[in-house]
Amino acid sequence: GKDMTGVAGRDISGTLNLNLNALRETEDPKDKELVALIEQLRKAIESPDCDLDDRFKKRSIEYLNTLTELAKDKPEGFLKSAKENLDDLTDIADKGSKLVTFAEKHLPTFMMAIGALRLWFGI
């Protein structure tokens, strides 16, 4: 996205696209549900009016990518990692709650999607 500055930001965004596409191609409706939730969060993060600090935006995209990879590959201990990533996203949402635009426009989406992702992973 255009809000992700620097090569690392673009790389992680591209990697997230690849991982989301891989999940999109499965026939599992549960995977499609995860893709929808991740994309909802990503849209909020990359929205031009999202006033989160750039490093929080970048970190959030990294967490979304990790969650997508965990859902796709289900490596050993993936639930613990998923929980840590969701806790980190919740921390970022808490920081964002002090920002007027984020709190008003994006916090409800963040909290709903994080809650739904916790249910998805069963954590």
Domain spans, the chain: 6-121
- Where residue 10 falls among pLDDT bands split at 50, 70, 90? low
For 54-68, how does the pLDDT look when each residue is reduced to its tens digit (9 = 90+)? 999 999 999 999 999
Identity at 70, one-letter amino acid code = L
- Where residue 113 falls among pLDDT bands split at 50, 70, 90? very high
- Where residue 11 falls among pLDDT bands split at 50, 70, 90? confident
